[in-house]
Amino acid sequence: MLGVRVAGRVEFVRKLCRGVPFVTLDGGTGTDVPTVIVDQSLGAQLATQHLLDLGHRRIACIAGPRGWSASNERRKAWAQTVRYAGLEPGPLVEGDWSAESGYAATRHILDSTFGSFTAIVAGNDQMALGALRALHARDIQVPKEISVVGYDDLPESRFFEPPLTTIHHDFAQQGERCVEILLRLINRESIEPPLQLLRPELVVRESTAAASR
């Protein structure tokens, strides 16, 4: 199994495998290799729409690093969902998936655009954790003043302060589906469809609330 980060890795792995079956995780749709994908765009859309439904009209984004398909799809879906609502996307800062980068990104947008957003969509739960810490350090109440949504639904996210609203990415189901497909390939059975698309779900906790301004 392979989580493909950049274009061209599939062909590289194909050469290494020398005919041995393999499955990609979130490897995109442009290859003939069986792939198990979580609908990243839908997940980011659910997160952003949740905030829009709460009345937020200025939604910032802490995106993951460029070069990762998941990051690019989540970033694009955030912007599109906001624009579909007739609004302009709020400030965008790029992180590296770590809590430290989420903390730094939040400090940056607070310093440069404070007052121009009422909610943050973070590219993953770790960056959301950093955002929560940065907001707390500035005595900004979550969710009373700024709401925060993460992505992945890590087991720890329900123990953040406040417990994190996030997108549930079922890593176990994705792994199980990959193993099922791999066993079918080993047994020379057909795989239909070759692209397996899994649906993420919104998990609402205490880090989001109706916009206060």
d(CA 44, CA 125): 13
pLDDT of res. 35: 74
Output the six-digit token pair for 84: 């579909």
Domain assignments of the chain as residue spans, ordered by start = 2-38+170-201, 40-168
Domain 40-168 has CATH 3.40.50.2300: yes
Classify residue 159 by burial, with Cβ atoms within 10 Å: 0-12, 13-18, 19+: exposed
Residue 205: pLDDT above 50?
yes
Note the pLDDT tens digit of each residue in 1-40.
334 343 456 665 556 665 676 666 765 555 567 677 788 9
Between residues 28 and 182, the one the model is more confident about? 182
- pLDDT band per the 50, 70, 90 thresholds, residue 204: very high
Percent of the chain clearing pLDDT 70 (strictly above): 79
Residue 72: pLDDT above 70?
yes
Among 56-60, 85-89, 177-181, 203-207, name the one with the lowest average pLDDT: 177-181
pLDDT of res. 3: 40
Average pLDDT of 192-202? 77
d(CA 129, CA 100): 9
Average pLDDT of 179-192? 73
